[in-house]
Amino acid sequence: MKAMNLEGKTALITGSTSGIGQGVALALAGEGANVIINGFGDDETIAAAQTAVAAAGAANVRYSAADMSKPEEIRQMISDVEAEFGAVDILVNNAGIQHVESIEAFPEEKWDAIITINLTAVFHTTKAVLPAMRRGGWGRIVNVASAHGLVASVNKSAYVAAKHGVMGLTKTTALETAGSGITCNAICPGWVMTPLVEKQIHQRAKVTGQNFDEAGYDLISEKMPSGEAATTEQIGAMTAFLCSDAAKQISGVPFSIDGGWTAQ
């Protein structure tokens, strides 16, 4: 028997062809769920992601190319999953983009895109999955927010605004679904060791003359007292726990995985 007992459940993870989303997909696959991955990438990347999720133990694996900036594509994706599996039992909102610049210089089209992908898409996916979750009397929504859903940093106005919005939406969803068998929580990671972060560290090392470990420690410890990034496996494990029966009375809560960042 799987530790989290997710066999027979269907999980949709947005932005899951790489990075944190893929780590979550692998964790839920490992608990026996049907897994629908979503995101951009070339054919080779998508095929590799599907193969990895299947190998991790998913009962079934599907891929959706739905664009999270297009509500009609979001609704069609969820409709397709419901037609095949009955419901999206587990929704993990992970898709996100970033742009770093001061407010005065921040391109308005970048602001609009970040709010659309990082916040508005979470509303559309949540709205679309709730009716079937209510009919089934069970559901888990996990929003991958950020430490920036709880605190701010300079030059990240759109991202911080969107992630704070995700936290508000998480709490409202929890209140509106209380007593229904549905929960909604948020995971708030700090730095997570993904290919994108590794690239940043390599670039920093090239500039400073440090090795990878030294440059990584300096970058991460600027925010995280632990000096060590979280892993995608840790985010996945927390998500799997929040989907378990052990977490059925946990709802509307932010879970920081940030090495002490927001404790300061």
Active site residues: 159
Cα–Cα distance, 255 to 257 (Å, whole number): 6
Q: Which of 155, 157, 152 is nearest to 101 (CA)?
A: 155
Which of these, 184, 190, 173, lies nearest to 235 by C-alpha position? 190
* Exposure on the CB side of residue 207, measured as CA atoms within 13 A: 10
Closest CA to 139 of 234, 12, 31: 12
Give the three-class secondary structure for 245. Answer: helix
Single-letter amino acid, residue 260: G
Neighbouring CB atoms inside 10 A of 200's CB total: 15
CB environment 210-243: b (16+ within 10 A), e (fewer) = beeeebbbebbeebbeebebbbbebbbbbbbbbb
Q: How far is CA 85 from CA 52, 231, 259, in A?
A: 21, 30, 38
